[in-house]
């Protein structure tokens, strides 16, 4: 089983990082983490290359992500909620998935990506309203050919309780891990 994980947090030992440690300690198979604040991935520049050709004109670390996406089984988007959305850097990385949208819309091509399972793990200080972030994450997951997307798992009172001590979210992560293991796409 191969899992691609996007970490949308800038904090090395923050809430998202704590939950990802809990998750990766229990995750079967191999995984790759894309650290949105530290990777060498620039945002989409809307150069329109992918309206006519597959792939992306920007040759940076996103090329490795496109390769991994071809045959991985699961994708997880883990991010803090900023202004009720995914973080800016997470959206920057996500914008590079535009090539899959253009494949469908303009080039009329199949992405060739193996069908996957998707999941979203969010944290918030306590201002609530993570629904928009979850919707955006689901849009990104669908672009990556996630056919089955797990319910939103999140810890939304991190100002008062660090996410890694939130027993409800830890139980949610355990269920997410089970979801990844169940009925795999052929
Ligand atoms: C710029 C900014 C915007 C934020 N907006 C929200 C928000 O809309 N809702 C919320 O619940 N928390 C918000 N927060 C709080 C973070 O989501 C929260 O502290 C989170 O636990 C940080 O996660 P991390 O430690 O993984 O980076 C915001 C924080 C920052 C820095």
Task: Report yes or no on 13 lying in a domain.
Answer: yes
Residue 29 lies in a domain: yes
CA dihedral 130, 182, 146, 71 (to 10 degrees): 130
CATH number for 92? 3.40.50.360
In a domain, 134, yes or no: yes
124 CA → ligand 1 middle, Å: 5
Pocket test for ligand 1, best of 18, 37, 82, 122 (most atoms within 8 A of CB): 82
Question: Is residue 186 included in any domain, yes or no?
Answer: no
Asked whether residue 24 is assigned to any structural domain, the reply reads yes
Q: What's the number of domains the chain is made of?
A: 1
CA distance from start to end of the chain: 12
Range of the domain at 162: 2-181
Determine the Cα angle at 92 with ends 95 and 23, to 5°: 100
Per-residue pLDDT of the chain (186 residues; tens, 9 = 90+): 999 999 999 999 999 999 999 999 999 999 999 999 999 999 999 999 999 999 999 999 999 999 999 999 999 999 999 999 999 999 999 999 999 999 999 999 999 999 999 999 999 999 879 999 999 999 999 999 999 999 999 999 999 999 999 999 999 999 999 999 997 655
Q: Would residue 124 count as lying in a domain?
A: yes
């Amino acid at each position: 089983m191969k899992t691609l994980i996007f970490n949308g947090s800038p904090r090395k030992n923050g809430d998202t990082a704590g939950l990802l440690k809990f998750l990766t300690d229990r995750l079967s198979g191999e995984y790759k983490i894309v650290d949105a604040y530290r990777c060498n991935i620039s945002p989409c520049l809307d150069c329109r290359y992918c309206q006519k050709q597959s792939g992306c004109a920007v040759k940076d670390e996103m090329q490795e992500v496109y390769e991994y996406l071809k045959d991985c089984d699961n994708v997880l988007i883990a991010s803090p909620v900023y202004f009720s959305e995914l973080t800016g850097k997470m959206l920057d990385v996500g914008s590079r998935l535009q090539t899959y949208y253009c494949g469908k819309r303009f080039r009329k091509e199949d992405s060739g990506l193996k069908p996957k399972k998707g999941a979203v793990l969010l944290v918030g200080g306590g201002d609530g309203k993570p629904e928009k972030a979850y919707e955006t994450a689901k849009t990104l997951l669908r672009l990556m050919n996630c056919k089955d997307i797990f319910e939103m798992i999140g810890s939304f009172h991190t100002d008062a309780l660090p996410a890694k001590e939130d027993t409800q979210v830890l139980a949610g992560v355990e269920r997410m891990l089970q979801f990844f293991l169940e009925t795999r796409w052929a």
